[in-house]
Amino acid sequence: MAGISQGEPKISGNFNGNIRCGIEEIENSKTTNSQEINELDGIMEKSKKRRREKREENSKGGKDEGEGRESLSRDPLVVLGWDLMMKILSYLDASSVALSLLVSRGWNRVASNDSLWAPMCEELWIGKAHIPRWSKVPGLSKMAAYSRAVTDSKRGRIMRDDLCDHAWEFHFTRDAPDYWRNLDPYWKGTAPLMRRYFHPDGSHSADPGDKVWGGHESCYSVVTSFLADGKIRKHYVRINRWPQLFVSRRQDWGWEMSNFLCKYSSIPDSFKGGTGPLFQSM
């Protein structure tokens, strides 16, 4: 037909542009879908990770509870009971029993029981010259009494109560003049040692008929000075204007006071019960 050309059909420019736009849209769609899939995979992976961590935590928590129950079943106090644990602890020394106070509240109640510490107090006080008054306070637990007695035994500062509560044996030293040593039963080896007494009013006396004493008046004072940090700088007892007496403790918790001329030793009197100051001192 006239006006119509034969051969391949021609595609208009607009149609080609539309095809290219369609292809680009498909490619962009693929890219967008790929990104969404990747994001979704990431979210799913995070979700799985959180669930896995939660399962592990739950599993671990269950294991700890099981271990706690197993540990409790191995506690000697739970397995053996109060009475048997008391019997076992009674064979331990005071330091070991004191350490068991820290195990748990249950152990603390057992290890602090008076029936456990009362025999230890009695054993501690055997052979001691003096029993501290502040460890014999009525209503005080036996464990506290034991602790206070040990603490007081390390006290190096003598108080007026210590001086007045005890009688004191007295003798001259080897460096004293011969005249005094010849009057002293300690050096003659004939009669009981001389005794001295300290009184709350500050006076100092001897037994009647004491040849050394001679009936003169005597008074005493306790002198203590401290450093800036609270530690004792000097501590001694002075009688009249005689040389100062330096203070020390014996292994049996007794007291000694001495200088180059004479020596005082407290006479054991634990049968009195508590002696010395009522409150703790340095």
Give per-residue pLDDT as tens, 43-102: 455 545 655 665 665 555 544 555 545 555 577 777 777 788 889 899 999 999 999 898
> Is residue 11, in this structure, part of any structural domain at all?
no
pLDDT in tens, the chain (282 residues): 444 444 444 444 444 444 444 445 444 544 444 554 455 455 455 545 655 665 665 555 544 555 545 555 577 777 777 788 889 899 999 999 999 898 888 889 999 999 999 999 999 999 999 999 988 888 999 999 999 999 999 999 999 999 999 999 999 999 999 999 999 999 999 879 999 999 999 999 999 989 899 778 899 999 999 999 888 999 999 999 999 999 999 999 999 999 999 999 999 999 988 899 987 765
In a 13 Å sphere around the CA of 249, the CA atoms on its Cβ side amount to 16
The amino acid occupying position 3 is G
Residues 89 and 46 in one domain: no
Task: Please identify which residue in the block is written with the tokens 């008076």.
Answer: 114
133, 153, 173 - which closes a domain: 153
Examine the domain organization and report whether 137 and 186 are in the same domain: no
Q: What 8-state DSSP symbol labels residue 193?
A: P
Report if residue 129 sits inside a domain: yes
Q: How far apart are CA 279 and CA 101, in angstroms?
A: 25
CB 247 within 8 A of CB 255: yes
* Structural domain boundaries, residue 94: 79-153
Same-domain pairing of 43 and 138: no
* Phi-psi domain of 84 (left: phi exceeds 0; alpha: psi -120 through 50; beta: other): alpha
* Total domain count, the chain: 3
Structure token digits, residue 172: 């001259």
Judged by DSSP in three states, 172 sits in strand
Same-domain check for residues 88 and 176: no
| The two structure tokens encoding residue 80 | 């053996």
Question: Does residue 59 sit within a domain?
Answer: yes
Alpha carbons 222 and 220: distance in angstroms, whole number: 7
Q: Are 248 and 147 members of one domain?
A: no
Q: Judge if 180 and 257 occupy the same domain.
A: yes
Q: Do 116 and 193 reside in the same domain of the chain?
A: no
Please report whether residue 12 resides in a domain: no
Q: Is the whole-model pTM more than 0.85?
A: no
Domain boundary among 136, 153, 170: 153
Is 3 contained in some domain? no
Domain finish residue from 126, 153, 180: 153
